[in-house]
């Protein structure tokens, strides 16, 4: 029987595979790999029925080579110290890969959120925030949480409000957390950002003819058959943008089981079907797949695991038919499965790159909060005026008259969401080319290349601190 590696060990094995491609001192590599600080806390919460329950929670700060540290807070029964540490490490590498100037961190609250009322969740979230403040594990320049599995905008608003109440007068208080509602200091485009980033990353990967031909695929996203695991924020938006980009959604896996239809599924209709019936199963025209995990083994070109870690293991990796795996989730492929899939020539687009769209737009939100102004507010009208002058000049020279519709399309200045999506696309496309270049240079796989890139950037940051000249 093979040894069952913990999630942290999985991440460290992947780190070690990459470290051999770097020239750095063993001690320095060890410092980068280690989780710098973990705070574990237990606190009481008053349930609605008057009883008191003890809640267990964590915050792990993996690397302070850049500050603040950054990473989401997970609300799940599966949360434990090892998981939080592994996810914090992935955040450090992810931020480095996409040049987001943060260290990595992660938080977790061990609850099944479905068992708590809104009021109970609010009390848990506010108390957790208070505990982080007391130990200096949160703050705009210290550690900045965000949503993760089981949390969303509402929880982030509670965190921001608690922080602001306690640190009254701190000018940059709103930058203590990202993923907030737009009305409370959030940024347009953050909600869709991770899924949109997954789309940009897969689209970019499909642009390389050599990589596609090596897997018997044609260049471009058009017509490629996709299976998505998880219809949460990441999976839903990844599926939506991939379909808008020309791919065909043929399978979806959720808790209750999976559905598969070779001719394609209508994403919005599946979501409506689930809302009505409480399950994606029995969707008209699709085959039911149980257990859910078997959906990942169905015939497709691109598989996007966008739920949780450890989904593709040594047990099922041999049966995966996809030619491309796009890791929307953190750690969905174990280190053993990785080897099996690479032997099968599967192109794995790694989590440390592919799901970094979320933290990239979190970075934009943080910048917005620190600058206290919405992106586009200063220049939008000025740009529109400049485009209008240009159109008039063209009209004068060519004697062509632009219609009112043309004028409004051609002269539109960039609004906040346009700028966010532009920055996200630039980041995802640029970083893919960086890691692919490293992959070609070292003759390794993309995940290893992403780690090599991350390690080198983190070492450079340590150097600029004067710690490792």
359 interacts with ligand GLU by CB under 6 A: yes
Among positive and negative, which fits the CA dihedral 347, 350, 351, 356? Answer: negative
Return the number of the residue (190 or 436) whose C-beta is nearest ligand GLU. 190
User: Catalytic pick from 106, 180, 224, 323?
Assistant: 106
Between the alpha carbon of residue 165 and those of residues 39, 109, 159, 160, 204, the distances in Å are 22, 22, 10, 9, 44
Do residues 97 and 435 touch, judged by C-beta distance below 8 A?
Answer: yes
CB atoms within 10 A of CB 75: 27
Return the number of the residue (251 or 328) whose C-beta is nearest ligand GLU. 328
Distance, C-alpha 204 to centroid of its chain: 17
Based on the number of CB atoms within 10 Å of its own CB, is 432 exposed (0-12), middle (13-18) or buried (19 or more)?
Answer: buried
Q: Which stretch binds ligand GLU (CB under 6 A): 299-307, 313-321, 353-361, 409-417?
A: 353-361
Is 106 one of the annotated active-site residues of the chain?
A: yes
How many alpha carbons fall within 13 Å on the CB side of residue 31?
A: 13
Q: How far apart are CA 93 and CA 68, in angstroms?
A: 14
Do residues 120 and 79 touch, judged by C-beta distance below 8 A?
Answer: no
364, containing H or E segment: helix 357-371
70 interacts with ligand GLU by CB under 6 A: yes
159 interacts with ligand GLU by CB under 6 A: no
Nearest in space to 128 (alpha carbons), one of 51, 60, 50, 41: 41
Return the number of the residue (71 or 257) whose C-beta is nearest ligand GLU. 71
Among 139, 150, 185, 358, binds ligand GLU (CB under 6 A): 358
DSSP state at residue 412? P
104, containing H or E segment: strand 103-109
Tell me how far, at minimum, the Cβ of 382 lies from ligand GLU, in Å.
31
**Closest residue to ligand GLU: CB criterion:** 72
Interaction with ligand GLU in 381-420: which residues (CB under 6 A)?
none
Interaction with ligand GLU in 313-342: which residues (CB under 6 A)?
330
Q: How far apart are CA 421 and CA 64, in angstroms?
A: 28
Token pair for 462: 């340590």
Among 61, 83, 143, 148, binds ligand GLU (CB under 6 A): 148
Token pair for 193: 């950002």
Q: Which stretch binds ligand GLU (CB under 6 A): 28-36, 210-218, 311-319, 354-362?
A: 354-362
Interaction with ligand GLU in 128-147: which residues (CB under 6 A)?
146
Tell me how far, at minimum, the Cβ of 310 lies from ligand GLU, in Å.
16
Tell me how far, at minimum, the Cβ of 226 lies from ligand GLU, in Å.
21
Q: Which stretch binds ligand GLU (CB under 6 A): 65-73, 240-248, 293-301, 390-398?
A: 65-73
Interaction with ligand GLU in 163-202: which residues (CB under 6 A)?
178
Size of the site for ligand GLU (CB under 6 A): 11
Beta bridge partners of 44: 54
Return the number of the residue (211 or 351) whose C-beta is nearest ligand GLU. 351
Between the alpha carbon of residue 17 and those of residues 22, 27, 308, 379, the distances in Å are 10, 16, 23, 47
305 interacts with ligand GLU by CB under 6 A: no
72 interacts with ligand GLU by CB under 6 A: yes
Tell me how far, at minimum, the Cβ of 189 lies from ligand GLU, in Å.
13
CB atoms within 10 A of CB 245: 16
362 interacts with ligand GLU by CB under 6 A: yes
Binding positions for ligand GLU, rule: CB under 6 A: 70-72, 146, 148, 178, 330, 355, 358-359, 362
**Which residues are marked as active site?**
106
């Amino acid at each position: 029987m093979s040894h069952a590696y913990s999630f942290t060990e999985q991440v460290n094995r992947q780190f070690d595979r990459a470290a051999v491609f770097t020239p750095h001192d063993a001690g320095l590599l060890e410092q980068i790999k280690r989780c710098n600080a973990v705070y574990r806390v237990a606190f009481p919460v008053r349930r609605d029925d008057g009883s008191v329950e003890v809640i267990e929670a964590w915050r792990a700060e993996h690397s302070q080579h850049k500050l603040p540290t950054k990473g989401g807070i997970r609300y799940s029964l599966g949360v434990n110290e090892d998981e939080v540490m592994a996810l914090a490490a992935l955040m450090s590498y992810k931020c480095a890969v996409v040049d987001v100037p943060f260290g990595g961190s992660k938080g977790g609250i061990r609850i099944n959120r479905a068992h708590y009322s809104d009021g109970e969740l609010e009390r848990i979230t506010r108390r957790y925030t208070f505990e982080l403040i007391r130990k200096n594990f949160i703050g705009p320049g210290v550690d900045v949480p965000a949503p993760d599995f089981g949390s969303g905008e509402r929880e982030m608003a509670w965190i921001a409000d608690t922080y602001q109440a306690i640190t009254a007068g701190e000018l940059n208080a709103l930058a203590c957390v990202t993923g907030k509602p737009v009305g409370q200091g959030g940024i347009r485009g953050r909600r869709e950002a991770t899924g949109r980033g997954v789309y940009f990353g897969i689209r970019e990967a499909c642009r390389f003819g050599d990589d596609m031909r090596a897997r018997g695929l044609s260049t471009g996203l058009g017509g490629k058959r996709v299976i998505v695991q998880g219809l949460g924020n990441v999976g839903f938006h990844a599926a939506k943008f991939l379909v808008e980009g020309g791919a065909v959604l043929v399978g979806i896996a959720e808790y209750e089981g999976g559905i598969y239809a070779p001719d394609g599924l209508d994403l919005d209709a599946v979501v409506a079907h689930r809302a009505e019936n409480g399950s994606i199963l029995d969707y008209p025209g699709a085959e039911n797949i149980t257990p859910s995990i078997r959906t990942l083994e169905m015939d497709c070109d691109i598989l996007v695991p966008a739920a949780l870690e450890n989904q593709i293991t040594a047990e099922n990796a041999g049966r995966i038919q996809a030619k491309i795996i796009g890791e929307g989730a953190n750690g969905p492929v174990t280190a053993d499965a990785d080897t099996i899939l690479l032997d099968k020539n599967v192109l794995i687009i790694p989590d440390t790159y592919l799901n970094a769209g979320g933290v990239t737009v979190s970075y934009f939100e943080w910048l917005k909060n620190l600058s206290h102004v919405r992106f586009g507010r200063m220049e939008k009208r000025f740009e529109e005026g400049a485009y209008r002058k240009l159109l008039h000049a063209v009209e004068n020279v060519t004697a062509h008259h632009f219609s009112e519709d043309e004028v409004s399309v051609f002269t539109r200045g960039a609004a906040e969401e346009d700028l966010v999506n532009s920055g996200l696309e630039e980041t995802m496309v640029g970083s893919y080319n960086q890691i692919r270049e490293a992959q070609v240079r070292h003759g390794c796989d993309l995940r290893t290349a992403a780690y090599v890139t991350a390690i080198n950037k983190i070492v450079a940051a340590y150097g600029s601190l004067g710690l490792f000249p």
